Each structure stands twice: as structure tokens, then as C-alpha cells.
Structure 1
Amino acid sequence: MRQEKVVSVLRQATADGVLGREHPVAGFIDVQGVRESVTALHEAFAHVPDVLHAFAVKACPLVPVLRLLAEAGMGCETASPGETRLALAAGFAPGRIVLDSPAKTRAEIQEALTLGIALNADSLAELDRVDALRPPGSRSVVGLRVNPQVGGGTIAAMSTATPHSKFGVALDDPGARERVLEAFLRRPWLTRLHAHVGSQGCSLPLIARGLAVLHRLAEEIDAYVGRRQITSLDLGGGLPVNFSDDTVMPTFEEYVQVLTDTEPALLDGRYQIVTEFGRSLLAKNGFTAAVVEYVKHSGGRRIALTHAGAQVAVRTVFMPDAWPVRVTAHGPDGRPKTTPPVPQDVAGPLCFAGDVVAHERLLPELTEGDLVVLHDTGAYYFSAPWAYNSLPRPGVHGFLHREGRTELAPVRTPQTLEEVVDESGSSHATALLSGFGSPGS
């Protein structure tokens, strides 16, 4: 995101009071940027006759953002009952929602099959549940997730096609492929295949190899059952995001080209294609801003204590090499600081020593009241806060630049301390003292 856009938002946010003394940390979403990213995705797949682009809700579980994406022509991918409720609340039609999860309950499965939500079974055991719960005439597309076992990327926790991944049916395990073929033979209504190699830390060739396995398996299944049964392929996962600067790379066009080069028939129109992008659509269209509360020195190192730590950047704090964020320094009015850079830690407010989002980062000397910006945090950061230390969830605001000025709109109201207390069981405050029945009751 261009610096002038960030500065304009900061100046408006501090003027409006949504960032500052009363609200020392906040998230911001670029509405036009989100629309442009969705357009770029659709244009990259424009030559594919039938595509459902399903946004991965976990990347930004905020109803106004989901509504924006729905209006822009996206579908929705969910992985829990809560995410499914968010998708429905945002206005996604059930037929444009895809439910993925490795641990779906019978209630989740029944709800999806009743509403007509598409469902990808994560195991053969889950297919047995679908057999028992699938109502006559269900409109749900049902698929099976397989693990192509093509290996992992540079971040083990983000790699889902490793030999021991918890996701999907591991195709290379002894007897697994035969059991998959039989599962489709017995279920003519099982018409979709799903695979997910990973996103951050995974190269495009690695992702493409896994999806090529999916395509070849579809052809193998059709040959085995003796009919055209597989009608759609769910290309799960997303793209890695470049967090080092504002350049968008890889692009959706580059992704499509690598898929085509690796498996030319994958996107030829024989199958409906489903995608599940999340981070690559939202990350660069959002940022987090926080107030510097104190500055101190420890062991000769300068430390700026801010209100943006692991509660909004948990992955960065615990895995800084895998999830680095760019940080810029701004004055209290949002203008960039221009003093000579010095190495300093940018730390958060949480009560553990590792709560640091940037170590020895060269930045203009931060002082009390300044602002720091964490860039590229539109996905998985302020939208999925960590409740450590019972800090309130920060407010999130959308922004548009129109007619020479920046306009802000509320996305999520900042949580109040009273709401933190309510959420923590205050209505049951005496339950452990007097809330139990008499012995033997």
C-alpha cells in the first residue's frame, strides 16, 4: 500500500479519534484495494468457463468485509460452524459456500446438506457420516479431500500436503488410492475432488504439482467407475504473499500460468474450478496502527513499547522469521518521521518477554505518542485477535479515498472493558461458590 495512502488514513483516523489516546491500536481495510484484488483474480481466470472463487473466511472473519467480497462476486469457504454463520450473515447464498474442516460434527454436516452448502469430506470416515445424514434431494455438492503428499514448503505449519499431514486422504499410503476409487464407485453423488498444498512458504511449482495429482486422480476415478462422475475440482489453498515491500508477487496471472504449464488440461473447462484464496486477496489491503506508549533502553538497546503486539500479530511474534512485518514510524498526526534511523525493538503490550514484532529494526527514533504502522496485515492479523492478558479487541475501519479526501467507515467496533468482563463470565461470578446443587441432587 502506497505510503501516501497510509498517511492519509492515519491523519483522518487521528483527527476522528478512532486512533489515539482512547483507541491506541486499530486496523484499517482498503475498500478499493479489495475490489481491485478481486478483479485481478477474476481476470486471471477469465478464460476458464466455470469458476467459483470462494474467499477463505479464516483470513478475515469480519461480516462487513465478507459482504464487500460477496458484492464483488466472490463465494465463501468456511471451516467451522462460526465461519459458516458469518458467511450466511454476510449474505452469501448457501450454494456459493464451501465447507471444509477436518473435524466436522454430525450437526455441521447435516446443516450443510440441508441448506445446500457444498461440503468437502476430509476422510473416508466422514463420507460414512454423509451417507447416514444426506437427505433425499440435497442440493449440496459433496467432494472428498485428498492429500497428494507432494511435500512441504519453508513453513512446516503452513504445509498441508506433507506425508503426515492431518488433512485429507493420504493418497500414497498403502491401499488408500484403491479405497478412494471404491468410495466414488459406491457414491454416484460424490462429484468433487479437493486438495490443498498450502500457501505461505509454498512455491508455485509445489502447489501446481499437488493440483496436477488432483486432476489426474479425477481422470482415474472416471475411468474406474465407467462414467463422467467428477464434475468439479476444488483447488484449495492460496498464494504466498510478499511481505518485504509493496510489490504483489506472485500474481494470480502467474499462478494460472504455472498451473497451465504443469498440467495443461487442468483449466480447460472440463471441470468446474473452485478456488479458496484468502491472504493473497486481503493482506496488502490492510494495515495496523498503534500508539507508542513508552520508550526505554535495556542492555544498550532502544525499545519502543507500543499497543500492537501478539494480540494482533501472534504469528509474527512467535515465528518472526516466517512472518516478518514491515514497520514504519509516524508522528502523532500520522506524518512519516524523517529523523535519522536507529536500531530499535518495536514491542507490544503483552506480559511476556517475547512480545516483540520487530527486533533491532532501523527506524526513525520513536518517542512517546508516535505511531507505528504494521503493513500488510489485512489478513489474519487484527481480524483474528488473541485474547491474552484480556486486552480488548481493537476497532477495525474501512477506508475510501474520494474527491481528494479519506473517508472511514466502521467494520468492527472496539471492544469495551465492560464487554471483556461480560465475556469472561461475570454473570456467573458466584457460581463456584453457590451455583452447585445439593449433594446427591
Structure 2
Amino acid sequence: MAMGDDGTGTAVSRSDRDDDRHEDRAARHDDGAHDDRAARRDEAVRAAVEQGLLGPATPIVGLLDVTGIRESAARLRAAFEAVVAPGTPVLHAFAVKATPLVPVLRLLHEEGIGAEVASPGELALAQAAGVPPGRTVLDSPAKTPAELREALELGIAVNADNPQELARIDGLIGSAAGRSPLGLRVNPQVGGGAIEALSTATETSKFGVALRDEGARAWVVRAYAERPWLTRLHAHTGSQGVPLPLMARGVAETYALAEEINRHVGRRQVDTIDIGGGLPVNFASDATTPTYAQYARLLRETVPGLFDGRYGLVTEFGRSLLAKHGTVVARVEYAKSAGGRPVAVTHAGVQVATRTVYVPGAWPLRVAAYDAEGRPKQGPPVVQDVAGPACFAGDLLAEARPLPLLEQGDHVAALDTGAYYFAHHYAYNSLVRPAIHGFAPDGRGGVAFATVREEQSLAEVVAESGGAHAGSLTTLGASSRR
């Protein structure tokens, strides 16, 4: 391999220089991509107002950028294709919990992305979207016998979380043995990131078998030796707030365990490593950082043996695939002032941005201002609050945020909300779930929309709140009071 010098006296291989040039080109491409994404978003907001999807009668709506989602899926596939050996089986399984919407899962399936599910509901969504069992992975720390039995019958890959679950699978596999790829989730205990609740490889994480606990590693090796049908190993270090080097370290620990198991049994029993997902998202700007290409390259440098063709790969990315391609847009119902600070009262608050409202330091959102016609709002920045509709003082989408002064009838957009926001409704004050629409160019210079989910009706709110059983409590025990 030809070597050169990087100007600091360090030898640099030609392939490294090629990688650097490739990343420089990718970075320049991403600069243009996020400019395009912002332009598409602006056009979609204006078109949503013009076409009546957003207005006095429908004061909040979710928008999904179909073009952006397709591009994100393509970048994920390309990033790992660039680092794995030719012919390596790779399954990218979207973490359904990030955006549990059937049309989204169908779109991702058509873009070559499977589904990672963690409940019967998520599995039902994946099935409704047409995701085949062979491209579905079941992860959950609390799988019931019925859930496991269904997965085994369908041939869905299953990662057992703990020794008791593995013992339960022992009693269930029977004739289903060999149909489902089966593995064990381990916790490499490499530490946490900036958000404790999303760090899954800490010393006391509830997930997986804690490898550094006394006797745990030996038990894992023995469990594989006793079960030739255990062929996968799974770990997930965390997601938002977890730095890439820590994620890579978690993967490296899992790879080392796979090597140890295979040495112990004297054959390549573990043939697939599920590295989880967790690529963090930049919520500070439209730029996509870090990228899948950066993470894949770091993994190749940190764990080169994982990419030499001996192991298949499974990934479980969620937030990083969808976050940048969703926008919640809400009408400003009233503009007022309190203590000298302007307050825009909108229809977007805790019901769509629960984490942001309750933990704003960990989950800040960018907010963009649009006028009554859906055009980007102009004017000098004014420090103001953007409030939601719920009846508590802390229901603030943004506090003391410099924006063009919002007025009644304007619109506010919560950006980067394609994952873990409008698809995770919090029914405070029985606020209805907003409609969600996908958008793409219509081929004539305009924007076309497609319904992803209809707005929840008041009748549905009543039904979910026990409307069919209105008298059940008043009649309970009535005869004993006579």
C-alpha cells in the first residue's frame, strides 16, 4: 500500500487519503443537502397553509419530508456498504419506536430498511407496513411467552435480554428451532453519555446481561456452548448524548465477546453481531452531524475484524433516520405579554414535545417563525416565549427565544421533530393527536401532500377515555347500598 506524509511527519496511506477526500466531498454534499432540506421545509409550510392543511380549523399539523427520508436511508446503506467486505449480509432495521407510523415503515421498507420492534404493537405496525419477518428483529426487556411464541413461529429474529428469558426460549423453540435467528443481548458496561435516561451501557442499565458482573461473562460463553442455535450477539450502548467513541467501544466489547465464544466452541457459531443504533442527532442546526459515514469509518478503525466478512451485521437506527425530516407546525392563537416579555400562545406544546417541555435542557428544539401565509417571518429578533396549549405554566416549546415578533395568525415550526415527537402523543388536557402529512415535489414546481395519519376526532378521544363504559362505576355495587 502506498504511503505518504500528512505534513506532520505521520505516514498516511493512500486509502486513508481517499477516505479523507471522500468525507470532504460528503461534507460538502451535506452542506447542500441541508440547504435543500430547509428550502423544502419552507415550501411545504407555505403550501400547507395555501392548501388548507393548516389554518384556524386545523391549527397544528405534522409534516414529513419524503425526499429527505429517502436520502437518509440511502446514506445509511452507502455508509456501511463502503466498509464491509463484499458479500457481507447487512440488515438495517429501523427502530419503530422512533416513528411508529405505518406509511413511514412502508417507505423505509421500500428503501431497503427493515424493522426493529419492541412490543406487540410495534410488530403489528411492521406487519401492516409489509415488512417481512426475515427483515424484522424483536428486542424488548419484557417479552411474554405469547410474544416469543409468535416471533418464533413467524421466523423473526429474537434477542433474549436475560437468563430467564433464554430459559423461556429453551422451552418454546421445539419445532421452531432454526426458523428464527436467535441471540442474546449483553451490556458491555462501558459507561454513559450526557443523557442518563438514554445511556444503556451503564453499570446498572436494565438492558441485557451485564458482562462485568461477577460470573456473567463466563455464563454467557457457557450459554452459547450449550445452545448451538444461539448465533447472534447484540448490544446497544445508547443514543442521544452518547459520543461516537463510546458507541464504538461498546461494539468493540461485543465483538471481542463473539470472538471468545467462537474460540471456546471451536467454530463460528456466532455469525452475526447486532450493533444497535443510537447515532446522535444535531438539534442545533440543519446540518446532519455526525453522519453514518463517519460512524461506519470509526467502527472500521476501532473494530477492523468486524468488517472482514466473517460476521453479518444488524443495525437498529431510529432517531437519526427520521428526526431531520419532520416538522410540527402550529398556528399562533394569541400574542400577549407577561412581565414585559412577549408570549406567543400556540397549539404545539407538551402533547407533541413532551421531553422538550419537561426536560428542556436535554431536549432543546429549534423553532422557526412563519407568517400567516406560511412564509418565513421577517423582522428583527425579539426575545419571546413560545407557549403550548396545555393548562400548566411550564408548557413552553421555547423560552426566551430570539425570533421575529410573533403575532396572532402567524405560525411556529418545531424543527427536527420527525422522531419521538408528533408520533408520540401525550394526551394532556385530552388534546387531540394532530394530522400528519408527507410531502414531496409535485413535478410542476409545487408541493404534493399525502395523509400519513388523520387528525384524531373528539369521538375517538371519548372512546379512548371509556366513553362506552360511562355508567360502569355508578352501577358498581349499587345493589349493596339499597
**TM-score interval, smaller chain:** over 0.9
The residue aligned with 2:424 is 384
Deviation at 1:5? 1.6
- Secondary structure of the residue aligned to 2:180 is coil
Deviation at 1:274? 0.1
2:210 to 170, 192, 195: 170
Structure 2 residue 460 is the aligned partner of structure 1 residue 419? yes
Deviation at 1:435? 5.4
Letter in 2 for 1:322: A
Deviation digits for residues 153-183 of structure 1 (CA, Å, limit 9, x no counterpart): 0110110000010000000000101111111
Count of residue pairs the alignment pairs up: 439
Aligned counterparts of 1:53 and 1:333: Cα–Cα separation in 2: 40
2:186 to 134, 138, 146: 146
CA contact (8 A) 1:114 1:135 kept: no
1:430 to 440, 463, 471: 471
The residue aligned with 1:16 is 51
- Secondary structure of the residue aligned to 1:329 is strand
CA contact (8 A) 1:113 1:135 kept: no
Tell me the TM-score normalised to structure 1 length.
0.97
Deviation at 1:385? 1.0
The residue aligned with 1:118 is 157
Structure 2 residue 220 is the aligned partner of structure 1 residue 180? yes
Tell me the TM-score normalised to structure 2 length.
0.89
Distance verdict in 2 for CA 1:137–1:416, change over 3 Å = closer
Deviation at 1:436? 6.1
Deviation at 1:226? 2.1
Letter in 2 for 1:414: E
The residue aligned with 2:249 is 209
Structure 2 residue 122 is the aligned partner of structure 1 residue 54? no
1:134 to 173, 195, 201: 173
Letter in 2 for 1:45: F
Deviation digits for residues 383-436 of structure 1 (CA, Å, limit 9, x no counterpart): 111111111100000000132110000000000111111111111111112256
Aligned counterparts of 2:325 and 2:337: Cα–Cα separation in 1: 34
- Secondary structure of the residue aligned to 2:385 is strand
Deviation digits for residues 8-47 of structure 1 (CA, Å, limit 9, x no counterpart): 1112111222111111111111111111111111111114
Alignment of 1:68-147 (within 5 A): 68-138=107-177, 139-147=179-187
Deviation digits for residues 111-143 of structure 1 (CA, Å, limit 9, x no counterpart): 101111110001011000001111314411111
Alignment of 1:265-280 (within 5 A): 265-280=305-320
Deviation digits for residues 331-390 of structure 1 (CA, Å, limit 9, x no counterpart): 111111111110001111111111111110000000111100111101110011111111
Aligned counterparts of 2:477 and 2:315: Cα–Cα separation in 1: 50
- Secondary structure of the residue aligned to 1:360 is strand
Among all aligned residue pairs of Structure 1 and Structure 2, give the percentage whose two residues are the same amino acid: 59
1:341 to 359, 375, 381: 381
* Structure ranking higher in helix proportion: 2
Aligned counterparts of 1:250 and 1:331: Cα–Cα separation in 2: 32
The residue aligned with 2:10 is none
1:309 to 339, 345, 349: 349
The residue aligned with 1:45 is 80
Aligned counterparts of 1:437 and 1:105: Cα–Cα separation in 2: 37
2:62 to 27, 30, 36: 27
Aligned counterparts of 1:38 and 1:437: Cα–Cα separation in 2: 59
- Secondary structure of the residue aligned to 1:265 is helix
Deviation digits for residues 47-73 of structure 1 (CA, Å, limit 9, x no counterpart): 422100000000100000100001111
CA contact (8 A) 1:343 1:361 kept: yes
Deviation at 1:85? 0.5
Deviation at 1:438? 6.6
Greater alpha carbon shift after TM alignment, 374-383 vs 15-24 = 15-24
Unaligned ranges ≥5, structure 2:
1-33
CA contact (8 A) 1:341 1:362 kept: yes
Deviation at 1:95? 1.0
Unaligned ranges ≥5, structure 1:
none
Greater alpha carbon shift after TM alignment, 129-138 vs 417-426 = 129-138
The residue aligned with 2:279 is 239
- Secondary structure of the residue aligned to 2:185 is strand
Aligned counterparts of 1:436 and 1:410: Cα–Cα separation in 2: 46
Aligned counterparts of 1:437 and 1:125: Cα–Cα separation in 2: 45
CA contact (8 A) 1:239 1:250 kept: yes
Greater alpha carbon shift after TM alignment, 183-192 vs 129-138 = 129-138
Aligned counterparts of 1:7 and 1:92: Cα–Cα separation in 2: 32
**What's the Cα RMSD here?**
1.2
